[in-house]
Amino acid sequence: MKILEVNALVKDFGGLRAIDTLDLVIEQGQILGLIGPNGAGKSTAFNCIAGVYPPSKGDIIFSGKKINGWKPWNLCKNGLARTFQIVKPFSSKSVLYNVMVGSFVNTDKKDVAEEKALKVLNSLHFEDKKDIKAGNLTIADRKRLEIARALATEPKLLLLDEVMAGLRPAEIDELVQIIQNLRDSGITIFLIEHIMRAIMALSDRIVVIHFGKKIAEGIPEKVASDENVIKAYLGDEYVVS
Amino acid sequence: MTHQNIKKFSLALVGIIAFVLPLVLRSPTYLHILVLLYFYAYLTTSWNLVGGFAGVLPLGHAAFVGIGAYTSTILFLQYGISPWIGMIVGSILATIVGVLIGLPTLKMRGAYFALATIAFSEGVRVMIENIDFLGPFKLNGPRGLLIPPLNTGLANFLFVGKEPYYYIILIMLIMALAFTYFISRSKLGYYLNAGGEEPEAAMALGVNVARAKLIAMAMSCFLTALAGTFYAQFTLYIHPRSIISLDLSFEIAFIALIGGRGSIAGPVLGALLLRPVSDFSRIYFGATLPGLHLVIFGVVLVLVMIYQPRGLQEPLTRAFNKLLDRFAVKTTMEDKK
């Protein structure tokens, strides 16, 4: 079953075409990786799907509903959650408070929200830090907090925007494990990542974009040896022919 | 005794002191100062709902005080309707106006929202100053409205002594504090804090930030206008410059910023600190150095912003908790004996 379908998506910023007729499909329960050189339009594509920017052209269909122009909070209530590349914690509040903001989506009761938030923190082995102010966390923990908050909204589809950037190898391995556990629990994951080790290990399929256009798609091994991908990342002379 | 118990106990103690104070303190001057202190603490608590929790800086709340005061006074003077009813009517009117103002302006960020609210409240003041009759309602322009102190009694919200006013504003303050306490622990409180701190992240987590802010604005305006009626019945004379002045709006913001925005105790602490400064500088330096209190406020604000940007409630709460620790340890050790 397709959970997300993007048909001929176009996003223009003035004269600049950031996304050019992009097609994407994510099947339920899959992990789809989105990669591309800096400025390729990865985050813009995420922002269009997550309702931050309305698309200029094309359709975005999420679990059977067309969601062009939906507001972020309505998407979230319908099961589409995201993290931010530049982390945005509620710095003056505790970790638990941060996660509870997410878990209030499906309830009005504080007790229920707190219980659910604690459950999410437990599943991420984060419960010992629940009373620490978010502003005092390390970057690795801030990234984990981003995921925890998003999970607290009980998403069907989770968009992860470079959650591994700036982490140490051991921390990356831990996060890879966490993401695999999430998939096993039935959440579909769409992730942008620059850390090749992680994205190769995680993704069922990878989509590569360059200057807003899709240049390759397929299983990780196939994409890694694709001529266009090597050209985009390393330059023409690196293509072995 | 546990921490929680000591906290409850000291809170109850403060409440009891506040209630018996007029029995001890007979001087009308001091009672007047206290009534105004509670009045400002109440206004700042109301302001705090939108200015503190929602993270915006409204600087035009005097307009809502004015709407409350003028509505109940006009209804009382022209139609003989009890100010208690006028109080509610004025608050509903202020809420509607507040929502209409909030719809376009709450989307603005930082200083722009503050400027828009200043412009709005100054607009209301200038209008009332220049209108003698608004339809059938007598506003009396810059001369203001005088409430003759006849037929005193609870039904007319008119009293001879200061004690009844003292108790009314004290109860209003306690109710407002209880209300903000309740809101800060509700879903709306979480949503307001989140939306005030990181609006984009809040939206991605399912928070309709604009809607939450608008609800807070409506509640804040409602509570603020109630105080307007109280002020009119207390001073018995309202005119645009006394009640819709920027001074009043700014003083509310000063108290909140110095006491601690977004906390429950902040507005009360701020009022406790600043109101005596304002009153005593007026009593002792009113003739030689008028406006001295505003200079002092400015200096205090600068110092607080440099050393305690989250307001004085933070170091004071910390000190209080330390004291609690010491007490709690002592008592548990005694228990063991």
Q: Has residue A218 been placed in a domain?
A: yes
Q: Is A97 in CB contact (< 8 Å) with chain B? A: yes
Q: What is the pLDDT of residue B330?
A: 63
Note the pLDDT of residue B37: 95
- Render B14-50 in DSSP notation, one character per residue: HHHHHHHHHHH---HHHHHHHHHHHHHHHHHHHHHII
Distance from CA of A166 to the nearest CA of B (A): 20
H helix runs in chain B, sequence order: 3-24, 28-48, 62-79, 83-105, 111-130, 163-184, 187-197, 199-204, 209-235, 240-243, 246-259, 266-285, 292-307, 313-336
The backbone torsions φ and ψ at residue B152, rounded to the nearest 5 degrees and listed phi first, read -65, 160
State the CATH number of the domain containing residue A232: 3.40.50.300
Nearest CA in chain B to A77: B206
Is residue A42 in some structural domain? yes
Q: How many domains in chain A?
A: 1
Q: Residue A164 belongs to what domain range?
A: 2-85+156-238
- Chain A from 156 to 175: CB within 8 A of any B CB: none
Residue A104 resides in a domain = no
CB contact under 8 A, B204 and A50: yes
Could you tell me if A110 lies within 8 Å of chain B, comparing CB atoms? yes
Q: Is B313 on the interface with A (CB under 8 A)?
A: no
A41 found inside a domain: yes
- Considering chain B, what is the average pLDDT of its residues? 90
Asked if A153 lies within 8 A of B207 by C-beta distance, the reply is no
Q: Chain A within 8 Å of B201 (Cβ-Cβ)?
A: yes
| Nearest residue of chain A to residue B209 (CA atoms) | A73
Judged by a CB distance cut-off of 8 A, whether residue A155 touches chain B is: no
Tell me how many residue pairs between chain A and chain B have CB atoms under 8 A apart: 72
B47/A contact by beta carbon, under 8 A: no
Query: In the prediction, which pLDDT does B293 show?
Result: 81
Choose from B191, B205, B211 for mutation: most chain A CBs within 10 A. Answer: B205
* Cβ–Cβ below 8 Å for B197 and A92: yes
Q: Which pLDDT tens digit goes with each residue over A85-107?
A: 899 999 999 999 999 999 999 99
Tell me which fold the domain B3-336 belongs to: ABC transporter involved in vitamin B12 uptake, BtuC (1.10.3470)
Is it the case that residue A13 has pLDDT exceeding 50?
yes
B269 vs B335, residue with greater confidence: B269
Q: Residue B335 above 60 pLDDT? A: no
The residue among A99, A216, A141, A127 whose CA lies nearest residue B206 is A99
Instruction: Cite the DSSP H helix spans in chain A.
Output: 42-49, 72-77, 95-103, 110-123, 139-152, 169-184, 196-202, 220-224, 227-234
- Asked whether residue A71 is domain-assigned, the answer is yes
Distance from C-alpha of A199 to C-alpha of B210, rounded to nearest angstrom: 37
Model confidence over B20-50: pLDDT tens digits?
998 888 888 899 999 999 999 999 999 999 9
Beta bridge pairs of residue A170? none
Q: Do B207 and A113 touch (CB under 8 A)?
A: no
User: Which helix (H) or strand (E) covers residue A35, if one does?
Assistant: strand A31-35
- Cα–Cα nearest to A163, from A56, A52, A91, A88: A88
CB crowding A214-234: b at 16 or more within 10 Å, else e:
bbbbeebeebbebeebbebee
Contact between A187 and A157 (Cβ < 8 Å):
yes
pLDDT tens profile B129-182: 999 888 888 898 899 999 998 888 898 899 998 999 999 999 999 999 999 999
User: Is B205 part of the contact surface with chain A (CB cutoff 8 Å)?
Assistant: yes
CA atoms of B173 and B14, how far apart (whole Å) = 13
**What value does the mean pLDDT take over residues A196-205?**
90
Structure tokens at B196: 């005030």
pLDDT-above-90 percentage for chain A: 68
- Find the CB nearest A84 among B185, B193, B201: B201
User: Could you report the per-residue pLDDT of B201-224, keeping only the tens digit for each?
Assistant: 999 999 999 999 999 999 999 999
A189 located within any domain = yes
Query: Is B202 close to A101, i.e. CB distance below 8 A?
Result: yes
Identify the pLDDT of residue B109.
81
Identify all chain A residues contacting B206, using CB atoms and an 8 Å cutoff. 73, 76-77, 102, 104-105, 153
pLDDT at B93: 97
pLDDT score recorded for residue B337 = 46
> Does residue B15 contact residue B167 with C-beta atoms inside 8 Å?
no
SS3 of A129-186: the string is HCCCEHHHCCHHHHHHHHHHHHHHCCCCEEEEECCCCCCCHHHHHHHHHHHHHHHHCC
In the structure encoding, which two tokens stand for residue B249, read together? 């709006």
Question: Would you call A101 an interface residue with chain B, using a CB distance cutoff of 8 Å?
Answer: yes
What percentage of residues in chain A have a pLDDT greater than 70? 99
Inform me whether the C-beta atom of residue A72 falls under 8 Å from chain B C-beta atoms: yes
Closest-CA distance, B263 to chain A, in angstroms, reads 12
If contacts are CB pairs under 8 Å, which of residues 108-127 in chain B contact chain A?
none
Lowest-confidence pick of A184-188, A221-225, B90-94, B98-102 = A221-225
Mean pLDDT over A176-189 rounds to: 92
Q: How many CA atoms lie within 13 A of A93 on its CB side?
A: 26
Q: Which residues in B lie closer than 8 A to residue A90 (C-beta atoms)?
A: 193-194, 197-198, 201-202
State whether ipTM is beyond 0.85: yes
Q: Which residue has the tokens 């979480």?
A: B190
Question: B215 CB near a chain A CB, below 8 Å?
Answer: no
Residue A131 resides in a domain: no
| A95 domain-assigned | no
B/e letters for A109-147, b = 16+ CB within 10 Å, e = fewer, are ebeebbebbbebbeebebbebbeebbeebeebbbbbbbb
Kindly indicate the confidence band of residue B331, based on its pLDDT and cuts at 50, 70 and 90. Answer: low
pLDDT digits (tens, 9 = 90+) for A35-77: 988 888 999 999 999 999 999 999 999 998 999 989 999 999 9
Instruction: Sort out which chain B residues have CB atoms less than 8 A from A89's CB and list them.
Output: 198, 201
Mean pLDDT of chain A: 91
Put simply, the chain B residues between 148 and 187 with a CB less than 8 A from any chain A CB are 185-187
Residues of A in contact with B186 (CB under 8 A): 110
| Interchain contact B322–A (C-beta under 8 A) | no
The predicted structure's pLDDT at residue B201: 94
- 3-class DSSP state of A33: strand
Q: Is the pLDDT of residue A181 over 70?
A: yes
